Amino acid sequence: MSEQVAIDALGTRGDGIAREPSTVFVPFALPGETVTIERQGGRGQLLSVDHASPERRDAPCPHFGRCGGCDLQHLGDRLYAHFKRDLVVDALAREGLSPEVAPLEPCAPGSRRRAVFTAVRAGPRVLFGFHEALSHRIAPIETCLVAVPEIVARLKRFERLATLLIDRKRELRMTVTRTQTGLDVAIEQTAKLSAELRQSAIAWGAEDQAVARLSVDGETLIENRVPTIDVAGVAVPFPAGAFLQAVAGAENRMAEIALAHLAPSKAVADLFCGFGAFTLRLARHHAVHAAEFDAPALASLEKARRAASGLKPVTVERRDLFRRPLTAKELARFDGVLFDPPRAGAEAQAREIAASGVRRVAAVSCNPVTLARDAAILVAGGYRLLRVTPIDQFLWSHHVEAVALFER
């Protein structure tokens, strides 16, 4: 049964919230709108917008509404920027923190250098694209307005490769990354590679010189060139399918903010360092100790460090910082710390930093909630939260990055 409701606010995932006659979350609805919905538990399916907000705009992507990747394309620029900034402000406020929060740093369309695609069998067909919102269903795509052109131009070729390698029962996952030397294509959960399948996949990789490397379930099938990522003029060998900041411009801005804050430091610990996106930038001016659990990422950092010139001393340690954070005693030799953890945050490490005498701390986060929790730990330990800068790295989604700066 349909009903008409008034939208009062936006939730943290960008859904409209109507509170009367009872609370319901309505995807793609905006504050100030009157909409007709069909209620499905606590969520409402939007049937029509009866009175539109002046902040509403036409979504530019033909897949909007089905593809789960971009859920905020219907927001005008002003509301979009305020919404993402408020995600950070509100998370900090819930922890009793009210620092200076800068305006949202913008992100351009067509700039995401890493995309993760999924393919599934649907009877005789193979569906290739992105997951729908809150669903295991796949939304097939023909374009993507956030990915770099080198990836978008080859969507049909990626679909052909997925169709070739897909398992009969499992979802296939394909991570495509634009590197300095070409595309890194890493596929997981494929069918068992027969000799024929292997040769077909190799032929696929060989026919397009834009492909630097093709790997399947960790095995490199073809490497036309070693994929590398440029970090402050240092060529870092890129581990197949590895994590990196999705937008190079966002990474540069995060580094710029953090490094300016840590400039007075002589020795810096870079925690959750990955393959060194911040380590190598820091090493231009500081002695750096880099800690990370991912062995291939650390191996890439070590190789890049050895080949680079003009760097200050860099030491590398493989360490599970969730289970065994650097202790306050170990941190005594540093006057600066940068940490960039996964979405779960760095609670255990934050407690050790809070107990240390480190003078300056920069925290990079993809989750405002865990950032706020970790920030509260540092503040309770005697740090002052100077300012926080939200950075839009995942355009038109409800995800937001942030850099927080602390001083003891």
User: CB atoms < 10 A from the CB of 39, how many?
Assistant: 16
Terminal Cα distance for the chain, rounded: 58
Distance CA 344, CA 142 (A): 33
| CA-wise closest residue to 49 among 61, 58, 62 | 58
Q: Is 340 annotated as a binding residue?
A: yes
For 331, the 3-state DSSP assignment is helix
* Matching residue, tokens 């939200």: 390
| Catalytic hit among 61, 144, 273, 366 | 366
Find the largest Cα–Cα distance for the chain.
Answer: 69
Q: Is 180 annotated as a binding residue?
A: no
Give, in order, the Cα–Cα distances in Å from 299 to each of 79, 113, 226, 244.
43, 22, 14, 15
Q: What is the DSSP string of 126-195?
A: EEEEEEBTTSS-EEE-S--SSB-HHHHTTHHHHHHHHHHHB-SSSPEEEEEEEETTEEEEEEESB----H
* Matching residue, tokens 């919102």: 133
Residue 315 near residue 247 (C-beta atoms within 8 A): no
For 154, the 3-state DSSP assignment is coil
What is the separation of C-alpha 68 from the centre of its chain, rounded to a whole number of angstroms?
15
Distance CA 191, CA 321 (A): 35
Residue 47 near residue 24 (C-beta atoms within 8 A): no
Residue 104 near residue 391 (C-beta atoms within 8 A): yes
Bridge partners, 114 (sequence order): 177
Is residue 366 part of the annotated active site? The answer reads yes
Name the token pair of 264: 């007075």
Q: What DSSP element (H or E) covers 365?
A: strand 360-365
Residue 360 near residue 261 (C-beta atoms within 8 A): yes
Q: Is 272 annotated as a binding residue?
A: yes
| CA-wise closest residue to 366 among 405, 400, 338 | 400
| Residues of the binding site for S-adenosyl-L-methionine | 245, 272, 292, 340
| Residues of the binding site | 245, 272, 292, 340
Annotated catalytic sites, by residue?
366
